[in-house]
Amino acid sequence: MKRNETVGFIGLGKLGLPVATCVAMKGHKVVGYDRDESRMTHDQQPYQEAGPDGRGDFNDFLGSDVVRKNLSFGSMEDVARDSSIIFVAVQTPHDPKYEGVTRIPAERKDFQYHFLTTAVHELNQAITGLADSRERTVVIISTCLPGTVETFVAPLLPNTHLVYNPFFIAMGTTMRDFLNPEFVLMGGDDRAAKQRLKEFYATLHDSPVASMSIPSAELAKVCYNTFISFKIAFANTVMEICDKVPKADCDEVIDALSLAYERLISPAYLRGGMGDGGGCHPRDNIAMSWLARKHKLSYDLFDAEMICRERQAEYLKRELVFHANSRGLPIVILGYAFKPKTNLTIGSPAILIKNMLVEEGYAPTMIDANVELKDAYWERIRAVYLIGCRHPEYERWQFPSGSVVIDPHRYIAKQDPSVLVRSIGSAEEGLC
């Protein structure tokens, strides 16, 4: 693909806008459209997102001179007219009750595809209304269960070349993950379209491309996400065992397993702590559980993983309740976010624990890292604290005398001897 050809983006949410910014930073002309006009701007966005090297802030790059020069905004028709490659970055959400911050409903459901199909239908109308016959490649990056794109999306795009190309990114590090992927996943039967997309990616990085059918690519995407959930659930199971067995230490066990690069793949996501979270993993397991039941698999492994996540949250909840009741202390959860250095809360395991406590009649307080940690009010409050998110700001916080700190991350510094730090899964337990 030549750099003077324009790349289009339909959908400028937490995925689309950071990725469009990356493409513009690399020198491509980009035109974006979103139904929400507040997203079509170079002004600051409300969510936290790191820069392409993991440092800095996404908003600084969005407002930079090079991005202002290369990234413009327009209508659906503008994107259709000007772009040779059009990325469709439209959400395929779940109902909020499946996001992982409340207990799992008995019913399982697929993702909701109406936002995607509506956007694709409108894009096809815009392309059909054009006078020119220039070839356009439409790239779907939305998460879908296998069979969705060929059944519901491809028939809506009869006049375009179609590729399914989901990204493997994590909210908070979208720019870095997009520009430095382990591999690029492409699904489709149109060899020319996939070759064109390969040439485009060659202008961004040199990561390998895995090419396959669209259903295989759809399945590979959700399997990637759900495998991460299994690793986290396994690591948290190790943590719980170590919390019960004298002298057993979760980090020692995991550090040993992390050396097994041949059989256990990698140590990434293999660290005991809070449960899996974010906008992909909990909901993807629910959708895969729905798929397992639809096809009557011999065992619904994805359902077991979500139940495991929920039970592990209950384990930490019981720890909070025990110390709160035995000492007559309030409960404070530190951290709304689902992971450090972001303000995104979708799928937050800390919020799940908070909701479990509310079910039982408790009234926990939640504060996040953006609260001034030296505030005199919090220095005076004796409480049972749960480190709900491993924000670095909490690591050196001196907790009030007489408090209990439940630390599933095992990273809180030594405290005054009157503070009980429960480093869950650590061999060094008890009063500091």
For residue range 5-46, what is the model confidence (pLDDT) as tens digits?
899 999 999 999 999 999 999 999 999 999 999 999 999 998
Conformational region of residue 151, where left means phi above 0, alpha means psi within -120 to 50, and beta covers everything else: alpha
What's the whole-number mean pLDDT along residues 148-152?
95
Judge whether residue 278 has pLDDT over 70: no
Q: Verify that 145 and 200 share a domain, yes or no.
A: yes
The reported pLDDT for the residue numbered 260 is 85
Q: What is the residue-averaged pLDDT of the chain?
A: 87
Q: Verify that 57 and 107 share a domain, yes or no.
A: yes
Of 162, 189, 211, the one marking the end of a domain is 211
Determine the number of helices (DSSP H) and then strands (DSSP E) in the chain: 14, 14
> How far is the C-alpha of 319 from the C-alpha of 420, rounded, in Å?
13
Cβ proximity of 309 and 276 under 8 Å: yes
Domain enclosing residue 334, as ranges: 223-431
Q: Verify that 239 and 340 share a domain, yes or no.
A: yes
Judge whether residue 85 has pLDDT over 90: yes
- Burial call 217-249: b when 16+ CB within 10 Å, e when fewer: bbbbbbebbbebbbbbbbbbebbbebbeeeebb
More confident residue, 165 or 388: 165
More confident residue, 238 or 175: 175
Q: Verify that 152 and 288 share a domain, yes or no.
A: no
Q: Is residue 1 part of a domain?
A: no
> How far is the C-alpha of 326 from the C-alpha of 321, rounded, in Å?
8
Q: Is residue 217 part of a domain?
A: no
Q: Which tokens in the block code for residue 177? A: 């993950």
What's the whole-number mean pLDDT along residues 337-357?
84
> How far is the C-alpha of 123 from the C-alpha of 86, rounded, in Å?
10
Of 211, 239, 266, the one marking the end of a domain is 211
The reported pLDDT for the residue numbered 432 is 34
- Closest C-alpha to 90, from 173, 20, 9, 184: 9
Domain count, the chain: 2
> How far is the C-alpha of 110 from the C-alpha of 158, rounded, in Å?
25
Q: Verify that 246 and 360 share a domain, yes or no.
A: yes
Q: Is residue 216 part of a domain?
A: no
Find where tokens 């060659």 sit: 202
Judge whether residue 206 has pLDDT over 70: yes
Judge whether residue 430 has pLDDT over 50: no
Q: Is residue 179 part of a domain?
A: yes
CATH of the domain at 390: 3.40.50.720
DSSP β-bridge partners for residue 422? 406
Q: Verify that 398 and 321 share a domain, yes or no.
A: yes
The reported pLDDT for the residue numbered 431 is 38
Q: Which tokens in the block code for residue 242? A: 């170590």
CA distances from residue 432 to 231, 251, 418 in whole angstroms, order as listed: 31, 19, 8
CA 3 to chain centre: 30
- Closest C-alpha to 276, from 341, 177, 349: 349
Q: Verify that 375 and 241 share a domain, yes or no.
A: yes
Question: Cβ neighbours of residue 355 under 8 Å, at least 6 residues apart?
Answer: 101, 102, 103
